[in-house]
């Protein structure tokens, strides 16, 4: 059994507070995962910093939006379905996006992050045993 304590110590876990307060659900993950989750689950299209009018792709960065045209299958599929040419007009950068604050997403302390990781892996272990 090997321990990756040196690399995992630096990584903080983040928690979605919307899930917690509204549905009593605990969603704890790495930062980019929680942010992406928040963008998809708790923000409407016109709250996203960048989005695509055509396929409803949402993201935080301009370059991600430009890349999705080629990398995101649904974009090509919708074009095909509607039989229309691709256009940069589908790509929207929102002048007033919703900003995720610490009331939406919380950073867990190093201690809590560690404990969370442990309890998550414990949960997974017990799930494996049950099946």
State the nearest-atom distance from the C-beta of 59 to Zn ion, in Å: 10
Distances (CA, A) of 41 to 45, 72, 130: 10, 19, 30
Distances (CA, A) of 62 to 50, 82, 94: 7, 25, 10
Q: Binding marks (x or -) toward Zn ion, 60..89, rule CB under 5 A?
A: ---------------x--------------
- The structure tokens listed for 83 are 């039989």
State the nearest-atom distance from the C-beta of 1 to Zn ion, in Å: 33
Which lies closer to Zn ion via its Cβ, residue 39 or residue 52?
52
Residue 100 within binding range of Zn ion, rule CB under 5 A: no
Residues that contact Zn ion, how many (by CB under 5 A): 10
Q: Which of 13, 14, 15, 16 binds Zn ion (CB under 5 A)?
A: 16
Which residues contact Zn ion by CB under 5 A?
16, 18-19, 27, 41, 52, 54-55, 57, 75
């Amino acid at each position: 059994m090997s321990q990756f304590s040196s690399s995992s110590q630096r990584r903080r876990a983040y928690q979605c507070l919307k899930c917690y307060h509204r549905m009593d659900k605990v969603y704890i993950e790495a930062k980019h995962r929680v942010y992406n989750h928040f963008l998809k689950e708790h923000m409407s299209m016109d709250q996203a910093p960048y989005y695509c009018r055509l396929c409803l792709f949402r993201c935080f960065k301009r370059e991600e939006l430009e890349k999705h045209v080629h990398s995101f299958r649904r974009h090509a599929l919708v074009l095909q379905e509607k039989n229309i040419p691709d256009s940069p007009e589908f790509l929207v950068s929102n002048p007033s996006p919703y900003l995720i604050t610490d009331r939406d997403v919380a950073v867990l302390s190093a201690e809590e992050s560690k404990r969370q990781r442990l309890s998550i892996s414990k949960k997974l272990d017990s799930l494996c045993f049950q099946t």
